[in-house]
Amino acid sequence: MEIFILKKEFKILIIGITGKTGCGKSCAAGYLAKNLSKSLVLDVDLLAKEIYGNNHDIVEKVSVVFGKEVLKTDGSIDFSELGRIVFNDNNQMKKLTDLMFPLITESIAEFLSNNSDKQYIIMDAAILFIAGLYRKQLGE
């Protein structure tokens, strides 16, 4: 697990936490949120899942790019199958980030704008480096 100070945005200090599944990102984020006044955790993986759940167009695009096997019988994304494809192939990961990243950055910018009264946002993001999230100017 790695913790980084990403940038000041909207007068908020954004702290990024990244690492593999199960390494303790959420625990570290919770600890920081509990001990830093006026702070809030942003779980980017959860945010992405909300996008998949609320945006039928992106689900369709993902199924076209990665095949119908990434869909469950109810038409929702099978995250296990999608993860199996993208986490084993950098080219496939790039395809997914090209589809999702504009939507994720838009949602993050909205989150920051809606929480501009906070002093710290602790960003729990397994894809922080894979997606280049640490380099982006959020909210622009």
Average pLDDT of the residues of the chain = 84
> What pTM did the predictor assign?
0.77
Band the pLDDT of 63: cuts 50, 70, 90. very high
Q: Are strands 39-43 and 12-18 parallel, antiparallel or unpaired?
A: unpaired
**Phi-psi label, residue 75: left if phi above 0, alpha if psi -120 to 50, beta otherwise:** left
List, for residues 9-29, the tens digit of each pLDDT value. Answer: 557 788 888 877 778 888 999
Give percent above pLDDT 90 in the chain: 49
Say which DSSP state 87 is in. Answer: T
List, for residues 79-88, the tens digit of each pLDDT value. Answer: 999 999 998 8
